[in-house]
């Protein structure tokens, strides 16, 4: 038995009929990374489970997050006059990020190579990707920090939301069209981030204090690239593909209302978390930016994973994720001063969100493993005794 049956019988039946369909047109991915991954996968042992590769890559991102949290918990280490992070940390961050990116590209190839592709593998991969957003965004932020030449934590918060919505757009697209259009921004950003970590190790964070041209700082270029890519490429293409499906009567759902329903929970999460930021009596985001963003990113991953389950099983997305109900109570208690110690409240709520999401993930993986009679982290078949 699973810890809790989050996947319904209807969804399990939908997983039985599921077939993976994706489109990847990014030149970096098609002409550089895929050939590289095809070369690497030949060296992996055939007994190595694809999900174990996926999880190892994800843990490299978690390790990066924890490493920078140790050396730069409040994002001030890169500011002028402060003790900077050692060069070896940036080297490690660059290597770990590239390893995570590489393993994320190799896992699917290993699944096809070992004839072990299952819907669980795709769900596991994309579910961890949804959580990984917060880990790489927060880690990259340490390069610039909060100083005069850095980025304010409020700006970081909104950049995080741009990244989160860019991620969910792809799965909303697939929820409506049945096809996963892989965004160009992911491959470009991962390669760039790994390179920037290594450059920082060589030239030092002081290099980023200088303007690129005129008064344009590197932080401004970084922010412009993230927001510009999201609003000029990712969002227009997602809307175009969904509206195209609607006009050609190939939309998987009955109306535009049903098509846009998956956005309700993410938007409510954005409203609740932003309300806490704006009306916080103690300016909680300024006090605890790392923990606050971790809480938001984890809650978002929980919302997104439930959309991915519905998208893959071809079932209707539930309008409201139950996690938002206690969060509304927490936010209300914070901004009305019912809970006077906001930092303690944030830590307790973050722990609750992380444990809830881990419980959800383990339960779903266990449930699908039992349904398909497979092990999540091994290619061996379970005994039928």
Residue 174 is part of a domain; what is its CATH number?
1.20.120.1760
Average pLDDT by consecutive 10-residue portion of the chain (385 residues)?
78 93 84 93 95 97 97 91 92 97 95 94 95 94 83 91 92 88 80 92 86 78 78 80 82 82 95 98 96 98 96 91 96 95 98 97 96 93 70
* Closest to 104 measured CA to CA, from 34, 45, 166, 155: 34
Q: Quick check: is 177 in a domain?
A: yes
Q: Which residues, listed in sequence order, are joined to residue 211 by a DSSP beta bridge? A: 217
Q: Please tell me the total count of domains within the chain.
A: 1
Q: Quick check: is 197 in a domain?
A: yes
Q: Quick check: is 92 in a domain?
A: yes
Inter-residue contact 130 to 301 (CB < 8 Å): yes
Tell how far CA 302 is from the center of its chain: 10
pLDDT computed for residue 250 by the predictor: 81
Q: Quick check: is 49 in a domain?
A: yes
Q: Quick check: is 358 in a domain?
A: yes
pTM of the model: 0.93
Domain of residue 226: give its range.
Answer: 21-372
Q: Quick check: is 378 in a domain?
A: no
Q: How many CB atoms lie within 10 A of CB 38?
A: 13
Q: Quick check: is 377 in a domain?
A: no
DSSP 322: T
Residues in the chain: 385
Distance CA 212, CA 207 (A): 10
pLDDT computed for residue 178 by the predictor: 87
pLDDT computed for residue 3 by the predictor: 62
Distance CA 200, CA 143 (A): 8
* Helices (H) then strands (E): counts for the chain: 16, 4
Q: Quick check: is 269 in a domain?
A: yes
Instruction: Give me the half-sphere count of Cα atoms (radius 13 Å) on the Cβ side of residue 317.
Output: 30
């Amino acid at each position: 038995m699973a810890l809790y049956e989050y996947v319904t019988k209807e969804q399990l039946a939908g997983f039985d009929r599921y077939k993976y369909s994706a489109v990847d047109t990014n030149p970096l991915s098609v002409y550089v990374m895929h050939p590289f991954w095809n070369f690497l996968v030949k060296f992996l042992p055939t007994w190595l489970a694809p999900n174990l590769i996926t999880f190892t890559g994800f843990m490299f991102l978690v390790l990066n997050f924890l490493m920078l949290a140790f050396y730069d918990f409040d994002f001030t280490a890169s500011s002028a006059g402060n003790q900077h992070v050692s060069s070896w940390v940036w080297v490690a961050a660059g290597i770990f990020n590239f390893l995570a990116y590489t393993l994320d590209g190799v896992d699917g190839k290993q699944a096809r190579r070992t004839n072990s592709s299952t819907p669980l593998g795709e769900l596991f991969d994309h579910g961890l990707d949804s959580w990984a957003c917060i880990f790489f965004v927060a880690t990259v932020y340490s390069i610039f920090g909060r100083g005069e030449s850095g980025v304010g934590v409020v700006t970081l918060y909104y950049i995080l939301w741009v990244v989160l919505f860019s991620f969910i757009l792809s799965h909303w697209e697939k929820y409506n069209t049945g096809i996963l259009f892989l965004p160009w921004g992911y491959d470009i950003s991962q390669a760039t981030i790994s390179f920037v970590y290594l450059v920082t190790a060589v030239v030092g964070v002081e290099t980023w204090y200088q303007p690129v041209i005129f008064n344009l700082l590197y932080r401004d270029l970084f922010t412009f690239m993230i927001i510009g890519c999201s609003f000029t490429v990712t969002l227009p293409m997602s809307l175009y593909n969904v509206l195209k499906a609607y006009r050609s009567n190939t939309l998987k759902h009955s109306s535009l209302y049903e098509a846009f329903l998956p956005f309700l929970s993410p938007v409510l999460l954005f409203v609740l978390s932003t309300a806490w930021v704006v009306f916080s009596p103690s300016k909680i985001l300024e006090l605890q930016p790392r923990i606050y963003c971790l809480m938001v990113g984890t809650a978002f991953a929980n919302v997104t994973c439930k959309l991915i389950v519905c998208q893959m099983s071809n079932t209707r997305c539930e309008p409201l994720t139950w996690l938002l109900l206690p969060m509304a109570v927490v936010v209300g208690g914070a901004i009305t001063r019912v809970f006077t110690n906001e930092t303690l409240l944030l830590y307790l709520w973050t722990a609750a969100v992380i444990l809830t999401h881990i419980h959800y993930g383990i339960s779903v993986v266990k449930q699908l493993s039992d349904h398909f009679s497979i092990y999540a982290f091994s290619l061996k078949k379970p005994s039928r005794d």
